[in-house]
Amino acid sequence: MVAAVCLLPAVTVALLSSFPVAMSLRRDVLELGDADFDYLATEHETMLVKFYAPWCGHCKKLAPEFEKAATRLKGTVQLAKVDCTAHSETCGRFGVTGYPTLKIFRYGKDSAPYDGPRTADGIYQYMKKQTGPDSVHLKTKEDLQTFVNNYDASIVGVFSGADSSRLAEFRMAAGLLREQFRFAHITDLQIAEEHGVDSESVLLFRPPRLASAFEDRVVVFKDYLTISSLRRFIRDHIYGLCPHMTMENRDRLRVRDLMTAYYDLDYHHNVRGSNYWRNRVMKVASKYTGRGLMFSVANKQDFLPELEDDFGLGMSDGGELPFVTIRTRLGQKYIMREEFTRDGQSLERFLEDYFAGRLKRYIKSEPIPEKNVATVKVVVAESFDDIVNDPNKDALIQFYSPTCPHCKKLEPVYRELADKLYSNPNIVIAKMNAVDNDVPLGYDVQGFPTIYFVPVGKKDEPIRYQGGRELKDFLKFLKREATHSLKFSGSRNEL
């Protein structure tokens, strides 16, 4: 995700330097300038610095969130800010070209760009993971037990001594991956002997809350240790057979076809109850490993807005039983419509139908209109194939939002276009509410209105319309792209 920034205006350094230094009103955010940046920054092990301009709208929006995060992080991570209109030398030295720019410093050295969330809680969570060493040195068996007894998974390197060449490689990997995972290392093989380790290796400990009879809690990595091989090992094993999907890790999980059971899951207050349904999912999932489908569980309330939008699930729907979906990496969606049974038989039937190709895809759709006699044909998700993908007709389809002012402005022009071509049997002018209907695969709709031309014989290769929004612009485009010559409605004159 690219953070919004205000671009640096073309002003001279002399003008920038003429601004007075502003005094900080909040001591939780340290204010730095050209004269004291190096001196003060070196005092802090980890510091997040915001480079900003007072006139920048994005900076103003970030300011209260940054202040709140600074208060929560006080004593662990120092947050600071530099006004680039007053301290252009410092901002130029660190390559600041837009506002706000956030950077992580360690003892005064530019360590990494900050690319995390820009909310108070997001900054807090992100920067908490930046504190302390990249990899914690565990010196006793008690240290090891304490470290791995955590809400999140743990990666522990086991080495024969502090001078091990593999330890250096492990610590480099930890530095690169610390934002995503927890790392520690041991320099005494005996500390990890109870885990069957008698040589240098890496242990991946899954969280105790996710312990299950269906998989090992500890996975051992014994390949040749490189940053790439360790990253690949973590990627392949970190989530296990059935991970707990959260808002933070969902994008990483959804790179594969994913089945998710949503229910009243709460690992902070009810571990046993949360694992009741997860164990039933895992029992069934263990029969389908290696078939290209990943499994997960999630808190229904956390994902309710998404479930309402993508699957039409209401607040009161589903009851206490899990609501099960499959979402493929290509965007196809399926719902288990049978009630989730405690013996897992309903889930197994659902998966058998999925792998056999017997399931009907779930499509969010408004009802198909009983009458559709206007010149601009109304398309819903359920009727998209019948109207837009009619093999005998070209189609011009507008994806719109009912609240979009640009769509409302376009409406009379679009209707006039449809009126002009009404008597033409070879083309259809259509529109679809893209808020209340799923947009088909192959159409990139990021804003409204978005218009595509779908020609005969190339229904899987829609052409995005990029022209003007006047009648003459549409007619010129269709004259060029239409499969058959066009005529005005009620006229013999060809376009």
pLDDT, tens digit, 9 for 90 and up, residues 120-144: 999 998 898 888 788 999 999 999 9
Residue 442 and residue 476 in one domain = yes
Enter the pTM of the model. Answer: 0.66
Residue 3 has what pLDDT?
59
Question: 95: left (phi > 0), else alpha (psi -120 to 50), else beta?
Answer: left
Asked if 342 and 386 sit in the same domain, the reply is no
Active-site annotation holds for 404? yes
Structural tokens at position 287:
């029969």
Indicate if 91 belongs to the active site: no
Assess whether 97 and 14 both reside in one domain: yes
Whether residue 360 lies inside any domain: the answer is no
Instruction: Work out the pLDDT band at 284, boundaries 50, 70, 90.
Output: very high
Average pLDDT score over the chain: 89
Q: Which of 56-60, 110-114, 353-357, 446-450 has the lowest average pLDDT?
A: 110-114
Are 108 and 170 within one domain?
Answer: no
User: Do 195 and 262 fall into the same domain?
Assistant: no
Tens digit of pLDDT for each residue in 137-193?
999 999 999 999 999 999 999 999 999 989 999 998 988 888 789 999 999 999 999
Residues paired with 378 in a beta bridge = 431
User: Catalytic annotation on 59?
Assistant: yes
CATH number of the domain residue 399 falls in: 3.40.30.10
Residue among 401, 386, 375 nearest 454 (CA): 386
CA angle 181, 252, 220 (to 5 degrees): 45
Does residue 11 sit in the same domain as residue 121? yes
Give me the pLDDT at residue 48, please.
96
Return the structure tokens found at 300.
Answer: 């229904």
In-domain check, residue 370:
no
141 and 91 in a common domain: no
231 and 262: one domain?
A: no
Give the model's pLDDT for residue 17: 41
Residue 90's domain comprises: 6-128
Q: Compare 63 and 180 and report the one with higher pLDDT.
A: 63
Look up 84 and say whether it is catalytic. Answer: no
Residue 405 counted as domain residue: yes
Residue 227 CA to residue 176 CA, distance in Å, equals 9
Q: What is the pLDDT of residue 90?
A: 95
The residue from 112, 128, 144 where one domain ends is 128
pLDDT-wise least confident of 47-51, 230-234, 318-322, 330-334: 318-322
Q: Give the pLDDT confidence score for residue 10 in this predicted structure.
A: 45
Q: What is the pLDDT of residue 176?
A: 81
pLDDT band, residue 8 (cuts 50/70/90): low
Phi, psi (5° rounding) for residue 202? -130, 135
In a domain, residue 323? The reply is yes
Backbone φ and ψ for 491, nearest 5 degrees, come out as: -135, 150
Same domain assignment for residues 344 and 432: no
The catalytic residue among 56, 84, 91, 242 is 56
| Residue 442 pLDDT | 87
pLDDT single digits (tens) 16-48? 344 443 333 447 999 999 999 999 999 998 999
Same domain, 266 and 300: yes
Measured CA to CA, the distance from residue 32 to residue 82 in angstroms comes to 5
Q: Which residue among the candidates 6, 59, 91, 242 is catalytic per the annotation?
A: 59
Domain count for the chain, please give it: 4
Q: Which of 322, 355, 388 is the last residue of a domain?
A: 355
* Residue after which a domain boundary falls, among 237, 257, 287: 237
Instruction: Write out pLDDT tens, residues 380-438.
Output: 999 999 999 999 999 999 999 999 999 999 999 999 999 999 989 999 999 999 999 99
> What's the confidence (pLDDT) of residue 489?
65
Q: Which of 417, 420, 403 is nearest to 451 (CA)?
A: 417
Confidence band for 14, pLDDT divided at 50, 70 and 90: very low
Residue 18, pLDDT score: 41
Both tokens assigned to 58: 């994005």
pLDDT at 222: 81
Residue 314 has pLDDT above 80, yes or no: no
Same domain, 124 and 18: yes
Confidence of residue 7 (pLDDT cuts 50, 70, 90): low
Question: What does the CA dihedral 335, 339, 343, 348 come to, rounded to 10 degrees?
Answer: -30
Give the residue with greater pLDDT, 366 vs 312.
366
Mean pLDDT of 69-89: 94
Share of the chain above pLDDT 90, in %: 75
Would you call 464 helix, strand, or coil by DSSP? strand
